[in-house]
Each structure stands twice: as structure tokens, then as C-alpha cells.
Amino acid sequence: MAAAGVVADFALPAELEAAEPPEARGLRRDEVRLLVSDLEQDSVEHARFSDLPRWLAPGDLLVVNTSGTLNAAIAAERDDGRAFEIHLSTRLPGGFWSVEVRAPGLVASRPADARAGTRFTLPAGGAVTLLAPYPVSDSLSARSRLWLAAVHLPGAFVPYLDEHAVPIRYAYVKDAWPSAMYQTVFATEPGSAEMPSAARPFTPDLVTRLVARGVEIAPLLLHTGVSSQESHEPPYEEYYRVPRRTAERVNDAREGRRFRAKAGRASSSRRSGRCDR
């Protein structure tokens, strides 16, 4: 499955933005729309995510992310008493994090200017101190969306965030939703700042149907950071872990696909020969 042709630029009407989960409209997670493109047939088909088994065959390998979504948005207060919101992005070695500083808004928080050395207090005695623009640049005074920060949380970070923070959301999401709405069916280890959304449409029923069809499932872990970087921003670190068995199964699946492709070309050649005769 890949994009067929080039999609022209278009303006998305505000009323068509994904402002709420499908459950709010009485739909199951797997009833969201699915666009399937076929390069060989040069075709595009509109379907529902629950139709996914139609395009996966026995022996196909589905690689899934087992990262769970954190409550990564924390109310914060600067030393001068001004209110902010800190978005934890990626946990780094040594008690450091990459973070985004936000200002409270009418619906959700909005970007805010910050500078190295600024200190914020968090609920229950937590604290955040901005150290440098992230990724680190030549100047500590440079403007930046993300910051390398020293983060002190009183206790283990997952229970602390469960109690004192909320899921990250942006202005196009009009209402606050509980953290359960930001978890996927595969989530086993909390660590993502924002939901690994590619897996959200999966349901236990859909997974059962895929397995019954003979589709294999292999796990890996990728803790996603805050929203995709802006055009001028370099990539930033995200923690990942690929089990050896998953890597082996991916390599086996690739080899099997190459073998089937070669066999298909040979079969097609023989059929063409018979037609010519």
C-alpha cells in the first residue's frame, strides 16, 4: 500500500478536522475511514479500517508499537508567578528531558517564548529548569520550540504524571478527553508524549480477525515525542527498542516477499510464453 500519484495541495475545512475521537460520534475505533491505494492497478479505494483484513494475506507480518501515551502536559508556574504549561517530550539520560514550553489558552495551550535558565515549579514539589535550546545550538540565547531541561519529579515519573498531568492536546480538539482515549490496544509500556496514532483504529475484534486469517503480529517500542518538528527543525531523539525476534521476523518477511515476487515474475513469463504459442 502506497500513495498512488501525487496528491495536490488542498485546504482542509475546519469542520473536517479530527476534533474528537470516533467514539464521540457513536463509532467504533475501527470504523474510521481507510484510503487504500494500489500502485500496480493505479487505483484508489475508500473503505473502513475494519476492512483491513481484505488487504493482508496469511503470512503477512504486521509490526506494532507497544508504547503507551503519557499524561505529558503539566501545569507550571514561572518564578514571577506567571502560569505556563510544560509538555514533556522525550526522557533523556541523567534526569534530563526535552520539553516544550506552552502558555495557557482559551481551549488548549499555545506556543510560548522561553529562555535558558528559566525555572518553573510543578505540582507537589516538582520543578523544571531550562538549560539550552534543543537540539543544543551555538547560542544559549537562541529561540527554540524545544528545550533541554533538568526535570525533578517527586517520585517515579509515570505515577506522578498520572496524578498531576493530563494528555497533550491542541486547539483543534475542543474538549478534554481521558487518557484512556489516547491509548492503543497494543500499549503495554507508557512513554510516548503523544499518542502513537497509527495503531489507534485497531480493536481486539480486528486483531482477532487478523490473527485468525494467518496474519502475524510482531512488537517493537517507539516512545514518540511532541508533534512533528517544524520545517526548519532538525530531527530529535526518540527512545526505541526492537526485540531481536521482531528484527528476525521482519527480515524473514522481506525475504519471503522477494521470493514470492520472483516466483510471480517467472510464472507470468511462462504464461506469456504459452499465450504466444
The verdict on residue 27 lying in a domain is yes
The verdict on residue 247 lying in a domain is no
Sign of CA dihedral 217, 223, 227, 228: negative
Residues 187 and 155 in one domain: no
The verdict on residue 24 lying in a domain is yes
The verdict on residue 107 lying in a domain is yes
Closest by CA to 189, choosing from 61, 100, 91, is 91
What CATH number does residue 122 fall under? 2.40.10
The verdict on residue 254 lying in a domain is no
Query: What gap in Å lies between CA 244 and CA 187, rounded to an integer?
Result: 19
Residues 65 and 85 in one domain: no
Angle at 83 between CA 160 and CA 129, to 5 degrees: 60
Per the structure, the complete domain to which residue 43 belongs is given by 14-69+179-242
The verdict on residue 263 lying in a domain is no
Cβ contact 66:191 at 8 Å: no
The verdict on residue 259 lying in a domain is no
Tally of structural domains, the chain: 2
Cβ contact 111:102 at 8 Å: yes
What CATH number does residue 220 fall under? 3.40.1780.10
The one-digit pLDDT tens for each residue of the chain (277 residues) are: 344 455 567 787 877 778 899 999 999 999 999 999 988 889 999 999 999 999 999 999 999 999 999 999 999 999 999 999 999 999 999 889 999 999 999 989 999 999 999 999 999 999 999 999 998 877 888 888 999 999 999 999 999 999 999 999 998 898 999 999 999 999 999 999 999 999 999 999 999 999 999 999 999 999 999 987 777 788 888 999 999 999 999 999 988 766 555 555 554 444 333 333 2
- pTM, whole model, 2 decimals? 0.85
Cβ contact 194:169 at 8 Å: no
The verdict on residue 192 lying in a domain is yes
